[in-house]
Amino acid sequence: MTEKAQKTKNKSLVLRLLGVVLGMFLFGFALVPLYDVFCEITGINGKTRGQAIYQKTEINKTREITISFITNTNRGMPWDFKPLTNVMKVHPGEMNEVRFYAKNRSQEAVVGQSVPSVSPGEAALYLNKTECFCFDQQLLAGGEAIEMPMKFYIDADIPEDISHLTLSYQLYNVTEAAVTVAAQ
Amino acid sequence: MADHHPTGIKRWLFTTNHKDIGSMYLWFSFIMFIIGGAMAMVIRAELYQPGLQFVEPNFFNQMTTMHGLIMVFGAVMPSMVGLANWLIPMQIGAPDMALPRMNNWSFWILPFAFTLLLSSLFMEGGAPNFGWTFYAPLSTTYGPPSTDFFILGVHMMGISSIMGAINVIVTVFNMRAPGMTLMKMPLFVWTWVITAFLLIMVMPVLAGAVTMMLTDRHFGTAFFDAAGGGDPVMFQHIFWFFGHPEVYIMILPAFGVASEIIPAFARKKLFGYSSMVYATASIALLSFIVWAHHMFTVGMPVAGELFFMIATMLIAVPTGVKVFNWVATMWQGSMTFETPMLFSIAFVILFTIGGFSGVMLAMAPVDFQYHDTYFVVAHFHYVLFPGAIFGTTAAVYYWLPKWTGKMYNEKMGKLHFWLSMIFVNLTFFPMHFSGLAGMPRRIPDYNMMFADFNMLASIGAFGLGLTQILFFGIMVKTIWFSKEKAPDKPWDGATGLEWDQLPCPAPYHTFDTPPKVS
């Protein structure tokens, strides 16, 4: 093969391989939304859905589901945050309310965002919240305390083998981000 | 044929010759091996006895992090590229690599990348201290200022590796001598081609991961920050999607070396050539679907744990085929036990032992006990030290006469081998026990009950470190102070273009006209 032909052959292969490199770099970034898609399809992430609307269905009084509530605050979050009810026994299809207490222990105003998580992961799909403080950011002035309600119902068709759910809220300090958005 | 070449520093800065570049990669990797090894000595000195004797915990964490980074990216990977550069053109009958100037650049990026990385030890806040796996948020939110230099260094090393891999693929696909069909190539070339494909596929993902780290740290993104809607566990998924193929990148060329050396010293053809090729390709393909076995304790649902457990156990099958074939090659062969053969046989046995602990780790429910203990440390050091490093050492002893025209002293080589054999096992075997007993990883101090195992491991490590100085002495003596010229065919059982058709040492330019391939 002539040197020119060799160089042309090499160049075309190099370009194709560089295409693979670029493709895999983009794939790395594509993994970010793909991760969410995978979790949504399989429902195994423990992420709850957004605001639900109450479907009036038959309340299944024969089944009792135990639901526990736990809370966590992130480092840098100077709030007290706890559920006012730790454990509830509910029936699928029945509307329930639980209240959470939050107090800003610091002197300045702080904005908090709660992120829910459900265990076991599969149960997340069956927990429907119609009203939740986690849908919005909460602003508390220095020293202010509030009670926040959360209204939910559990789907009537929750699988038989789930009898206990734990709903966890992690509270994050988003004051900086909220201020930036407000200023824009 | 003119054999002259430029001299002095300019020769080494501007060379496009695969032999020169191969030598530079090998010497660079050895220097990195010593530096990374020195860090291991600091670690083992601190862990020699319970209590905190020599270093602060934060500095200890810097040592474990840098030891991992230097060994993975500075010692093992460049040594494999050095072997590739020296051997691939000669073994396929090509005059040089396909892209000689890019080859030069691939090498010269590395000294700059590692100067950057090592200089972080002297920066305010110290070097990276979050483990070579740099999980978020420890690395993103809580990492020292030098983390950004670490990110830049990783980008540079990645570019070097990717360019090297492209060079290997184009060379092997386009520049084989007529008659050198794919299924006639030496197995070292095959394993490197497959390694090169792994490299171009996963190094860009690593680049993406560290870029996401950089933007999380400085440009307001929240890929891995839960407060902003991101997910730290996603970091682990992205990292290990790179990380698992990375460990196969580190071992496959060593598989190729074993497949060259064992037939030579058993004076018998490699058993099952085509199954060796298919097994290597299967290992490479499977390596893409097992990454979460590094994450069994992260909170994955059972379905995920099962999938990754089964896929991981599956990889043991083609690996077993390879081990079986090496043994079958030796079976009823006419064996002699020169230094390259000793290192290669030790490779087969000790890598297999590392594989056994790997199969144990693959069982998700029991991995809940082993994860993040010294059992994992034992596993990967067995597959990396008696695996990748012994493989490279065997290659250096085997091909040294071809590269330099000098023969090493066989008695000294055997001494190096036996000291390495004893000390590598003394260092890492006790770690299986301390891990099973519950000793966690990455800790500068530990419970009294682990003391005896740690003392043994530290003694072994000091011996292993000293043995490398012996290795260095053997190499220097042989290359520069030995009067004995090696014969053109130092190994009577060796086959292949580089042994059949080239003298020892090989001339600066070889196969300017393509050789005849039988």
ipTM of the complex: 0.91
**Cα A180 to chain centroid, rounded:** 23
Higher confidence at residue A178 or residue B226?
Answer: B226
pLDDT band (50, 70, 90) for residue A43: low
Q: Does B159 touch chain A (CB under 8 A)?
A: no
Type and span of the H or E element at B3: none
Name the minimum distance, in Å, from the CA of B516 to any CA of chain A.
15
CB pairs under 8 A between A and B: 76
Q: Does A170 touch chain B (CB under 8 A)?
A: yes
**Cα B336 to chain centroid, rounded:** 27
B442-491 pLDDT, tens digit each = 999 999 999 999 999 999 999 999 999 999 999 999 999 998 889 999 99
Q: Does A41 touch chain B (CB under 8 A)?
A: no
Sequence-distant (≥ 6) Cβ neighbours of residue B365 within 8 angstroms? none
C-beta neighbour count of B494 within 10 angstroms: 21
Option in A17, A122, A170 nearest B226 (CB)? A170
Q: Active-site residue among B18, B19, B217, B322?
A: B322
Task: Give chain B's end-to-end CA distance (angstroms, integer).
Answer: 24
pLDDT band (50, 70, 90) for residue B226: confident
Name the minimum distance, in Å, from the CA of A24 to any CA of chain B.
6
pLDDT exceeds 70 at position A25: yes
Strands in chain A per DSSP E: 65-73, 79-83, 87-90, 95-104, 110-119, 127-132, 138-140, 145-154, 164-173
Give yes or no: B160 in active site. Answer: yes
pLDDT exceeds 60 at position B2: no
CB contact under 8 A, A6 and B175: yes
The position carrying tokens 């594989």 is: B355
pLDDT band (50, 70, 90) for residue A122: confident
pLDDT exceeds 90 at position A121: no
Give yes or no: B442 in active site. Answer: no
Average pLDDT over residues B153-165: 97
pLDDT exceeds 80 at position B341: yes
Q: Active-site residue among B441, B442, B477, B509?
A: B441
CB contact under 8 A, B205 and A122: no
Alpha helices in B267-338 (DSSP H): 273-286, 302-330
pLDDT exceeds 60 at position B3: no
What Rg do the C-alpha atoms of chain B give, in angstroms?
Answer: 23
Please tell me the predicted confidence (pLDDT) of residue A175. Answer: 83
CB contact under 8 A, A113 and B241: no
CB contact under 8 A, A31 and B238: yes
Which residues of B are less than 8 Å from A121 in CB distance?
301
Residue A32, exposed/middle/buried by CB under 10 A (0-12, 13-18, 19+)? middle
Q: Active-site residue among B12, B27, B132, B135?
A: B132
B49-92 pLDDT, tens digit each = 999 999 999 999 999 999 999 999 999 999 999 999 999 999 99
Which residues of B are less than 8 Å from A172 in CB distance?
226-227
Give yes or no: B161 in active site. Answer: yes
Q: Does B304 touch chain A (CB under 8 A)?
A: yes
Option in B223, B226, B301 nearest A44 (CB)? B301
Residue B4 vs residues A97, B87, B316, B501, B509: alpha-carbon distances, Å: 87, 21, 49, 21, 10
Higher confidence at residue B290 or residue B231?
Answer: B290
Q: Does A32 touch chain B (CB under 8 A)?
A: yes
Residue A123, exposed/middle/buried by CB under 10 A (0-12, 13-18, 19+)? buried
Name the minimum distance, in Å, from the CA of A123 to any CA of chain B.
12
Q: Give the mutation candidate from A8, A17, A169 for the B interface (greatest B CB count, under 10 A).
A: A17
Average pLDDT, chain B: 96
Name the minimum distance, in Å, from the CA of A56 to any CA of chain B.
32
Option in B170, B227, B304 nearest A14 (CB)? B170
Please tell me the predicted confidence (pLDDT) of residue A44. Answer: 67
Residue A97 contacts residue A103 (beta carbons within 8 Å): no
Kindly report whether the peptide bond that precedes residue B204 is cis, defined as omega within 30 degrees of 0: no
Residues in chain B: 518
Q: Does A18 touch chain B (CB under 8 A)?
A: yes
Q: Please give the Cα distance from B2 to A104 (Å, whole number).
A: 82
Strand order across the beta sheet in which A145-154 lies: A79-83, A95-104, A145-154, A127-132
Tokens coding B490: 């130092």
Please tell me the predicted confidence (pLDDT) of residue B497. Answer: 96
Please tell me the predicted confidence (pLDDT) of residue A53. Answer: 80
Option in A10, A17, A27 nearest B200 (CB)? A17
CB contact under 8 A, A10 and B303: no
CA quadruple B308, B312, B317, B319: dihedral sign:
positive
Residue B98 vs residues B59, B89, B183, B413: alpha-carbon distances, Å: 44, 9, 20, 35
pLDDT exceeds 60 at position B200: yes
Average pLDDT over residues B388-400: 98
CB contact under 8 A, A32 and B207: no
Average pLDDT over residues A57-73: 89
Which residues of B are less than 8 Å from A162 in CB distance?
none
Adjacent-strand bridge partners of A171: A73, A114
